[in-house]
């Protein structure tokens, strides 16, 4: 349905996702009986580990868990979060003051922007970026200023240029390992970001959704490991990818007390916390065996290898990403001129393969498409064979 965006002013800033035209093609092809191999959305295809589901079953039959919960998250879950940081990153957090549970990262980031921004204030966001990084700002009636995040060498330089702009940004969003670009950074990068944050008096928001999905010996650092980071920023994490819990909607945000308490205040007006059995199951996910995290990581690695190998055989050479559940592929020269949207449509129509066009993540994404590694290896092979035929 078309909506009159003069009547509802925010809607003029929230156009239909670019992805919707690719989704429509995919849908039509499926209605016509085509088997589409779908690398479109970063929606994990594997089930949540059994021991986490068992905990949900056990806790959901207990009546006391059916009441309103705690908006900021159960104290035991916040303790599990601070223990997770201690174990994984040697960071000490005060569960009461420096952690908050969110209804997935998207909810946390969106309400964070509402908590921090006055209408018209500016936030520096990456281009390309995961869409909520920019739309959360617009939803909060803020303005976005984009920085070029595609050029690894100039990343810090581009961030600093953005920070020097007028009007002066209030906050900066970063996210590594990155969706969609799969870029990774080391702790030095975060240390320099902290220095910039202090120099320009801004708040840093780091989205750490792919903390655990790292390969080939690379371990992604936490922003909170950087000296002084707790003075300037927060980090958001999600159980969606590390534990295949995308539909459960659990995440958390940690770091600077003032920022966390601002989010807590706003959320205390908006929600009563996640359904308690889900929070109890999240405690199990964080506290108990982490073998499942390794298995999930290994699955993405094998799929990454199969895809890179298959695309290579088709003549499409891509450097294997060190992290995330994506492959960010530069469109081959032969098809570059048509742009990422038309190229994605071509892949659906001629190969029965769905990917996300890079333009959907920002204008600088237009020379790339993103494959989400949510199909099994056999189907990945089938997809790369079709692509090989197209390229011939
Ligand atoms: C960078 C990034 N942040 C956040 C999310 C969403 O996480 P959640 O399911 O916790 O809302 C995603 C999901 O794809 C993501 O790629």
Kindly give the number of the ligand 1 atom that is closest to the alpha carbon of 108: 11
How far apart are alpha carbons 72 and 74 in whole angstroms? 7
How far apart are alpha carbons 388 and 391 in whole angstroms? 5
Ligand 1: centre distance to CA 135 (Å): 13
Q: Is residue 2 part of a domain?
A: no
Q: Is residue 40 part of a domain?
A: yes
Q: Residue 326 is inside which H or E element, if any?
A: strand 326-330
Q: Is residue 1 part of a domain?
A: no
Ligand 1: centre distance to CA 158 (Å): 24
Kindly give the number of the ligand 1 atom that is closest to the alpha carbon of 238: 10
Kindly give the number of the ligand 1 atom that is closest to the alpha carbon of 324: 16
Residue 105 in contact with residue 151, Cβ under 8 Å? no
Same domain, 37 and 146: no
Q: Is residue 134 part of a domain?
A: yes
Structural domain range at position 343: 9-47+292-391
Q: Is 105 in the pocket of ligand 1 (CB under 6 A)?
A: yes
Same domain, 128 and 29: no
How far apart are alpha carbons 317 and 329 in whole angstroms? 8
Ligand 1: centre distance to CA 179 (Å): 9
Is the pLDDT assigned to residue 9 strictly greater than 90?
Answer: no
Residue of 119, 121, 175 whose CA lies nearest to 144: 121
Q: Which of 39, 43, 45, 106 to mutate to test the pocket of ligand 1 (most atoms within 8 A of CB)?
A: 106
Same domain, 175 and 319: no
pLDDT in tens, 260-311: 999 999 999 999 999 999 999 999 999 999 999 999 999 999 999 999 999 9
Angle (CA) 156-329-27 rounded to 5° is 120
In 314-376, alpha helices (H) = 333-336, 339-351
Ligand 1: centre distance to CA 241 (Å): 8
Same domain, 58 and 28: no
Q: Is residue 59 part of a domain?
A: yes
Same domain, 128 and 218: yes
The neighbour count for residue 206, using CB atoms within 10 Å, is 23
Last residue of one domain, picked from the residues 253, 287, 321 = 287
The pLDDT, as a whole number, for residue 363 is 95
Q: Is 181 in the pocket of ligand 1 (CB under 6 A)?
A: no
Q: Is 42 in the pocket of ligand 1 (CB under 6 A)?
A: yes
From residue 173, alpha-carbon distances to 132, 204, 219, 384 in Å are 11, 6, 21, 34
Kindly give the number of the ligand 1 atom that is closest to the alpha carbon of 104: 10
Same domain, 25 and 88: no
In the three-class reduction of DSSP (H, G, I as helix; E, B as strand; rest coil), residue 162 is classed as helix
Q: Is 179 in the pocket of ligand 1 (CB under 6 A)?
A: yes
**Count of the separate structural domains present in the chain:** 2
Q: Is 182 in the pocket of ligand 1 (CB under 6 A)?
A: no
Q: Is residue 303 part of a domain?
A: yes
Ligand 1: centre distance to CA 176 (Å): 12
Same domain, 120 and 135: yes
Ligand 1: centre distance to CA 200 (Å): 28
pLDDT in tens, 235-271: 999 999 999 999 999 999 999 999 999 999 999 999 9
Q: Is 130 in the pocket of ligand 1 (CB under 6 A)?
A: yes
- Quote the radius of gyration of the chain (alpha carbons, Å): 21
Last residue of one domain, picked from the residues 255, 287, 319 = 287
Chain-centroid distance of CA 107 in Å reads 12
Kindly give the number of the ligand 1 atom that is closest to the alpha carbon of 102: 10
Residue 243 in contact with residue 94, Cβ under 8 Å? no
Same domain, 217 and 363: no
Q: Is residue 327 part of a domain?
A: yes
Sequence-distant (6+) residues with CB within 8 A of 252 are: 73, 77, 78, 81, 99, 100, 101, 102, 108, 236, 237
Residue 181 in contact with residue 149, Cβ under 8 Å? yes
Q: Is 207 in the pocket of ligand 1 (CB under 6 A)?
A: yes
Ligand 1: centre distance to CA 209 (Å): 6
Task: State the pairing for strand pair 99-102/251-255.
Answer: antiparallel
For helices 131-139 and 104-116, the axis angle rounded to 10 degrees is: 40
In the three-class reduction of DSSP (H, G, I as helix; E, B as strand; rest coil), residue 140 is classed as coil
Q: Is residue 23 part of a domain?
A: yes
Q: Is 238 in the pocket of ligand 1 (CB under 6 A)?
A: yes
Q: Is 44 in the pocket of ligand 1 (CB under 6 A)?
A: no
Residue of 330, 322, 313, 321 whose CA lies nearest to 369: 330
Alpha-carbon torsion angle 155, 241, 14, 152, nearest 10:
10
Q: Is 126 in the pocket of ligand 1 (CB under 6 A)?
A: no
How far apart are alpha carbons 205 and 372 in whole angstroms? 24
Is the pLDDT assigned to residue 343 strictly greater than 90?
Answer: yes
Same domain, 55 and 24: no
Supply the CATH number for residue 276's domain.
Answer: 3.40.640.10
- Please report which confidence band the pLDDT of residue 19 belongs to, taking 50, 70 and 90 as the band edges: confident
The pLDDT, as a whole number, for residue 23 is 86
Same domain, 133 and 282: yes
How far apart are alpha carbons 52 and 49 in whole angstroms? 6
Residue 236 in contact with residue 208, Cβ under 8 Å? yes
pLDDT in tens, 116-127: 999 999 999 999
Mean pLDDT of 77-83: 98
Same domain, 111 and 123: yes
Mean of pLDDT over the chain: 96
Is the pLDDT assigned to residue 14 strictly greater than 70?
Answer: yes
Same domain, 203 and 84: yes
Chain-centroid distance of CA 356 in Å reads 14
Last residue of one domain, picked from the residues 287, 308, 337 = 287
- Please report which confidence band the pLDDT of residue 193 belongs to, taking 50, 70 and 90 as the band edges: very high
Residue 93 in contact with residue 82, Cβ under 8 Å? yes
Supply the CATH number for residue 363's domain.
Answer: 3.90.1150.10
Q: Is 109 in the pocket of ligand 1 (CB under 6 A)?
A: no
């Amino acid at each position: 349905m078309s909506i009159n965006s003069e009547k509802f002013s925010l809607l003029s800033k929230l156009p239909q996702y670019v992805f919707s035209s690719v989704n429509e093609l995919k849908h039509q092809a499926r209605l016509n009986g085509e088997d589409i191999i779908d690398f479109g959305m970063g929606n994990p295809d594997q089930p949540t580990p059994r021991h986490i589901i068992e905990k949900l079953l056990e806790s959901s039959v207990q009546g006391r868990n059916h009441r309103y919960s705690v908006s900021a998250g159960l104290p035991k879950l916040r303790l599990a979060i601070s223990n997770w940081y201690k174990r994984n990153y040697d960071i000490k957090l005060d569960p009461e003051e420096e952690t908050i549970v969110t209804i997935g990262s998207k909810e946390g980031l969106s309400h964070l922007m509402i908590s921090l921004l006055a209408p018209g204030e500016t936030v520096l966001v990456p281009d390309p970026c995961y869409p909520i990084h920019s739309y959360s700002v617009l939803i909060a009636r803020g303005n976005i200023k984009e920085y070029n995040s595609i050029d690894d060498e100039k990343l810090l330089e581009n961030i600093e240029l953005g920070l020097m702009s007028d009007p002066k940004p209030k906050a900066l969003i970063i996210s590594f390992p990155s969706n969609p670009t799969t870029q990774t950074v080391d702790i030095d990068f975060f240390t320099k970001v902290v220095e910039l944050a202090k120099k320009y008096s801004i708040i840093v928001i780091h989205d750490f959704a792919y903390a655990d999905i790292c390969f080939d010996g690379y371990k992604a650092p936490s922003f909170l490991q950087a000296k002084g980071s707790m003075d300037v920023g927060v980090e958001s994490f999600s159980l969606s990818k590390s534990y295949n819990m995308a539909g459960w909607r659990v995440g958390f945000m940690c770091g600077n007390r003032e920022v966390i308490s601002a989010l807590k205040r706003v959320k205390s007006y908006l929600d009563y916390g996640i359904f308690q059995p889900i929070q109890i199951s999240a405690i199990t996910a964080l506290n108990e065996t982490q073998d499942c995290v390794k298995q999930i990581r290994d699955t993405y690695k094998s799929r990454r290898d199969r895809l890179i190998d298959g695309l290579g055989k088709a003549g499409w050479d891509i450097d294997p990403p060190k992290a995330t559940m994506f492959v960010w592929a530069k469109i081959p020269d032969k098809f570059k001129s048509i742009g990422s949207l038309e190229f994605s449509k071509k892949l659906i129509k001629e190969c029965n393969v769905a990917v996300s066009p890079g333009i959907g993540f920002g204008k600088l994404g237009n020379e790339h498409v993103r494959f989400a590694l949510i199909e099994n290896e056999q189907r990945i092979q089938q997809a790369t064979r079709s692509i090989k035929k197209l390229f011939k």
